[in-house]
Amino acid sequence: MNSAVSSVDAPEVSIARDLARRALLVSPTFLVLGVVLDGVGGIISSGLALALVALNFFLGAQIISRAIAVSLNALYGAVLFGYLIRLGMMAFAVLIVRNAEWFATVPFAITLLITHLGLLIWETKHVSASLAFPGVMPAKPSTDNFQE
């Protein structure tokens, strides 16, 4: 792999950036859901879940893009250890705040699961359409040929 390629241009980093942008787009829905379910605590918990999902994607992408510049074997190890580290990070983050007065489990859990899966499905649809990188949708076929 070419180590000269910067991690900013890496496809997984652009996907993570795209996922974070989409998370921002859908965040009002989940924040409102949090308010409805548990008031101010719900909004903070939903916000925390959104931040954790985005951070998880970013961390995963950074681990891959940095490891792939070293070697393919490093990629294998980094992804598996990165998986453990990211799971541990999420558990640690929740264990810190779970006894706080404002922490609401249900809005947090709903936001975490739906955002993670929903964003991925949305992104996969987009990537499948572009066949290469997110955010680059193929142009619609021109109808000029049919007018001739």
Partner 1 sequence: MLNVLAETASGEMLEGLKAIGAGLGYGLAAIGPGIGIGTVVGNAISSMARQPESAGMVRTTMFLGIAFTEALALIGFVVFILLLP
The 128-147 contact track toward partner 1, x by CB under 8 A, reads ---xxxx-------------
> Cβ of residue 132: shortest distance to partner 1, in angstroms?
6
> Cβ of residue 140: shortest distance to partner 1, in angstroms?
22
Residue 38 in tokens: 């548990």
Cα 112 from Cα 98, distance rounded (Å): 15
Segment contacting partner 1 by CB under 8 A, of 21-29, 34-42, 71-79, 137-145: 71-79
- Under the binding rule (CB under 8 A), the answer on residue 120 touching partner 1 is yes
Cβ nearer to partner 1, comparing 42 with 60? 60
- Under the binding rule (CB under 8 A), the answer on residue 40 touching partner 1 is no
